[in-house]
Amino acid sequence: MITLYSQYFNPNISRKYGRRISRERAKNYSDEKLEHILNTMNVKYEVRDAHYSRIPYEDSRMFIIEGNIKKSTIIKIIGEKL
């Protein structure tokens, strides 16, 4: 099970606060786009409202993905598709 937060792809925050892909790739990010990418990858996932620990005062979405893929690999794939 893999947990992804929307902050990993948010172009408005720095890497210090949790962004995991380049700002250039993140500029087209939206939660809807991430859901579309996950649907095209044919993975089972669940979406929950959450707060990311590095920015607890900001609302976020948590994507819980089922699978045997590494977290870094799935973040890289999503970053390329954004």
pLDDT in tens, 21-35: 999 999 989 999 999
List, for the chain, all residue ranges whose pLDDT scores fall below the cut of 50.
none
Q: In the chain, what are the domains?
A: 2-75 (3.30.56.30)
CA–CA dist 8, 14 (Å, integer): 10
Q: What is the pLDDT of residue 76?
A: 93
Q: What is the pLDDT of residue 40?
A: 94
Q: What is the pLDDT of residue 23?
A: 93
pTM: 0.87
CA–CA dist 15, 43 (Å, integer): 26
Q: What is the pLDDT of residue 33?
A: 93
* Radius of gyration for the chain, computed over Cα atoms and rounded to the nearest angstrom: 12
